[in-house]
Amino acid sequence: MVDLEKLRTVAKETISRDDIKYLIGWRQGTYGFRVSPCFVREPGEAEQLIYSPLCTNNLASYLIAMDKPPLPRGEKPDTRKVAVMVKGCDSRAVVQQMAEKGLEREELYIIGCPCEGVLDLKKVEAKFPHLLDPVTVQWNKDKIIFQLPEGAEEVPREEVLAQECLSCRDPNPVLADIMLGEEVQVWGNGEYQDVQEMEAKSVEERWSFWEDRFSSCIRCYSCRNVCPMCYCEDCVLDRLNPTWVYRSSNISENTAYHLARAFHLAGRCVECGECERVCPVDIPIMKLNKKLAKEVEEKYEFRPGLDPEAKPLQSSYRPDDKEDFIL
Amino acid sequence: MERMKLGKEKLGDFFAKLGNKQIYAPQKVGETLRFAPVAPEDELDLEFSNTTVPPKSVLFPQTETLYRYDLGSTDLNLPEDEVERVLFGVRPCDARAMSIVDHLFSWDFDDPYYLSKREKTTIIGLACLEPEVNCFCTSVGGGPASTEGLDLLFTDLGEAFLLQPLTEKGEKLCREAEDVLEQATGEEGASAEKLQQAAAEKIVRGVETNGIAEKLPKIWDSPLWQDVSEACLGCGTCTFLCPTCYCFDIQDEAEGLEGRRCRVWDSCMFSEYTLHASGHNPRPTVRERTRNRVNHKYSYFVEKFGIIACVGCGRCINLCPVNIDILNILSEVIKEEAI
């Protein structure tokens, strides 16, 4: 359990340091259960920080893909550290970014937040609809407590937790400069149950499933943009000359988009589930990512984002890698 | 024309009376509610607050072929003539959005693709009786039973719909289907009005829009734009799903010796949108892009066409992955001192 007082004290101390540019954390959103990422630059602003089961956003996304506006002539870039609050999965994204040399350790000050699972807002808002005033939510062992206008309500954790969190193996940050609170006990076994269910279907059934889901894609790119591992400066999907994927939204181009996105995350996806969370048309994107994660884990005994010194999967070779699947 | 009544069990019969018109109604595609063709016998689930994808996707499709061509030939194959369509179940906010978008597509150039579809489409509204928490139509000139942009308005009375014809097109539809319609009583009319009024009272969010169009240019350099946009991921959710956003790109797609020129939805929230060939980008960060989105809806469009290009449907608030909330931005704009 993270104590809010402690969080705000640590944040204040952090942001008061001369070598910190800003701190990225979470704050209460504008209504109901919403939470928004926030950038704290002044010690006084630390008061707005929160940490709760509603803090779904993986803030590691902001470390790497921020727009870099051109600097006015003569002005030097601000190279001070960025402080960032990370849950278990978020920390894996940071580690993987470092392993890929996208980030240097010295650029960061990492505030670790042990996590007991974040909520699926779609489930929560279906359960408690039409709430305008901000709602406070807390973890309490296997329950989630909602401080609703009519009083506190306890809900079993598995009813409202995000799908990815139910089988989470890494609730504790794997890397941090300072930890807020005690480590939590791991509850998930990392099983790939939904992947196995999909694998059990025939090719026709699987294609008809994905055809239906990909048809609804509006190509807003929120899944790509939110992903902490999608940080190419020049994305293949934005290319116009040559145009690898047409801008048209149809089953052919949408499929090309989703497969390109998923394949580029093979051995890199940290399974935070942000892509699926932000999809406005509810495409079950994690089923693709988890299939690739399962293949990578089974075939190469590799899970990304656990060791900043580890070589990325695609640039490593072990003589004893399995070969039984190579044609 | 008098107000009419249609028993709910006769909705399919009503559709069947509409001849060869293609009927579009809210349908699940994948997991998403959007307007898609339906047959009279299809079961409709009308227990929705609003569709995720607005009905603009029918009149202004995400991908639209402008013409096809063959390499080596100067002949252009234009798309076939538009069919007559009926859009059923359009919420009043989305219908107002279409009348707002009309300004653009008939402004300096009459857009033949949009306008021919518009001309051949009859829009049947469904009064909104259970507004969502982020609905704010009443702040921007609309209401849960607003009739602007609609040809015919349905109000759900429980067992039946009350039909209110609003235009010549709507009256024509009612005449075509007169066998399945009954004259509504004054009492039924009154109870529909009561439901509509109750719906307007259920709207909980809003903003004072007076003076915003004039204020926005005066706070161009305010730090508020960085504060409200910093968390933006630069995705296209807010614009693609906005019923009044109409930006498009034109692309050529060739395969072998055949090709087509098509237009596709584009979004001012993409960095690519304003990227110059030189590499320079006049809107280099989410700050400038967010500022443009708000200014376009609440200032530029007002200046050009005299109307706010936002209907308060709440989609951009509901679906933003990082809780960027236009009502919050507007209330900050109001508080901000003009520079």
pLDDT at A283: 97
pLDDT over 90 at A323, yes or no? no
User: Is residue A236 situated within a structural domain?
Assistant: yes
- Return the CA Rg of chain A: 20
Helix (H, G, I), strand (E, B) or coil at A138: strand
B32 → closest Cβ in A129, A220, A282: A282
Q: What are phi and psi of B253, to 5 degrees?
A: -125, 115
Average pLDDT, chain B: 96
The mean-pLDDT minimum among A63-77, A124-138, B149-163, B302-316 falls in: A63-77
User: What mean pLDDT do residues A318-325 have?
Assistant: 84
A61 touches chain B (CB under 8 A): yes
Question: DSSP E strands: which ranges in chain B?
Answer: 4-7, 22-29, 32-38, 63-70, 76-77, 85-90, 121-126, 152-156, 160-165, 182-183, 248-255, 258-265
In the 8-state DSSP scheme, what is residue B147? Answer: -
Tell me the per-residue pLDDT of B288-301, one tens digit each, with 9 for 90 and over: 999 999 999 999 99
The DSSP symbol for B337 reads P
Q: Given CB atoms, is A213 within the 8 Å cutoff of chain B?
A: yes
| CA distances for A192 relative to A198, A213, A285, angstroms | 10, 20, 14
3-state helix, strand, coil in chain A (%, to 5): 35, 15, 50
- Mean pLDDT for B321-328 is 98
Let me know: does A114 contact A142? Beta carbons within 8 Å: no
Q: Give the residue-averaged pLDDT of A256-272.
A: 96
- For residue A326, being part of any structural domain is answered with no
pTM for this predicted structure: 0.96
Contact A69 B30 (CB under 8 A): no
Contacts of A243 in chain B (CB under 8 A): 251, 253
Best A39, A212, A247 residue to mutate vs chain B (most B CBs within 10 Å): A247
A106 lies in some domain: yes
Would you state the pLDDT for residue A325? 79
Q: Is the pLDDT of residue B339 over 80?
A: no
% chain B with pLDDT above 70: 100
**246-305 in chain A: CB under 8 A from chain B:** 246-250, 274, 277-278, 280-283
Any domain includes A159: yes
Task: Give chain A's mean pLDDT.
Answer: 94
Q: Which among A130, A278, A282 has CB closest to B31?
A: A282
- Tokens for B199, please give them: 């719906």
| Three-state SS letters, B58-121 | HHCCCEEEEEEEECCCCCEECCCCCCCEEEEEECHHHHHHHHHHHHHHCCCCCCHHHHHHHHCE
**CA proximity to A186, closest of A234, A255, A256, A115:** A115
**CB atoms closer than 10 angstroms to residue A98:** 21
d(CA A154, CA A140): 9
DSSP single-letter state for residue B299 = I
At residue A133, the pLDDT reads 95
Strands B22-29 and B32-38: antiparallel
Query: Which H or E run includes A93?
Result: helix A88-99
Q: Is residue A327 a part of any domain in this protein?
A: no
| Kind and range of the H or E run holding A81 | strand A81-86
Chain A nearest C-alpha distance from B183 (Å): 36
Question: pLDDT band for position B333 (50/70/90)?
Answer: very high
The residue of B56, B130, B233 whose CB has the most chain A CBs within 10 angstroms, and thus the best one to mutate to test that interface, is B233
What pLDDT does A239 receive?
Answer: 86
Mean pLDDT for A285-311 is 95
Are β-strands A136-140 and A143-148 bridged in parallel, bridged antiparallel, or unpaired?
antiparallel
A55 → chain B, closest CA residue: B322
* Distances, alpha carbon B248 to alpha carbons A147, A236, A243, A276, B251, in Å: 44, 21, 17, 26, 10
Is A72 a member of any domain? no
Q: How far apart are CA B80 and CA B120, in angstroms?
A: 14
Q: Encoding tokens for residue A94?
A: 């940071």
- Report whether pLDDT(B169) > 90: yes
Cα(A132)–Cα(B206) distance, rounded to whole angstroms?
12
CB B71 within 8 A of CB B259: yes
Q: How far apart are CA A4 and CA A313, in angstroms?
A: 38
Per-residue pLDDT band for B45 (boundaries 50, 70, 90) equals confident
Q: What is the DSSP letter of B338?
A: P
- As given in the structure block, the two tokens for residue A1 are 């359990």
What is the tally of structural domains in chain A? 1
Angle at CA A229, nearest 5°, toward A228 and A235? Answer: 110
Q: In this predicted model, what pLDDT tens digit does every residue of A3-56 receive, in sequence order?
A: 899 999 999 999 999 999 999 999 999 999 999 999 999 999 999 999 999 999
**Do A281 and B30 count as a contact with CB atoms less than 8 A apart?**
yes
SS3 of B318, please? Answer: helix
User: What percent of chain A stands above pLDDT 70?
Assistant: 99
In angstroms, rounded to a whole number, what is the distance separating the alpha carbons of residues A311 and A304? Answer: 9
Residue A298 lies in a domain: yes
Half-sphere CA count of A4, side-chain side, radius 13 A: 13
Task: Considering only the beta carbons, identify the residue of A36, A69, A130 that sits closest to B284.
Answer: A69
Closest-CA distance, B161 to chain A, in angstroms, reads 26
In percent, how much of chain A has pLDDT > 90?
Answer: 85
A90 to chain B nearest CA, in Å?
16
Give me the domain span that covers residue A289: 4-66+77-315
Provide the token pair at B91. 């919420």
- Report the pLDDT value the prediction gives residue B235, as an integer from 0 to 100: 96
Helix (H) or strand (E) holding B271: none
- pLDDT range class, residue A321, cuts 50, 70, 90: confident
In a domain, A233, yes or no: yes
The answer to whether the CB of A93 falls within 8 A of the CB of A272 is yes
Query: Looking at the predicted structure, is the pLDDT value of residue A211 above 80?
Result: yes
Q: How many residues does chain B have?
A: 339
- pLDDT on residue B1: 76
Q: Residue A248: which pLDDT band, with cuts at 50, 70 and 90?
A: very high
pLDDT in tens, A65-109: 777 777 889 999 899 999 999 999 999 999 999 999 999 999 999
Confidence of residue A190 (pLDDT cuts 50, 70, 90): confident
Instruction: List, for residues B192-237, the tens digit of each pLDDT value.
Output: 999 999 999 999 999 999 999 999 999 999 999 999 999 999 999 9
Tell me which chain A residue has its CA closest to the CA of residue B61.
Answer: A249
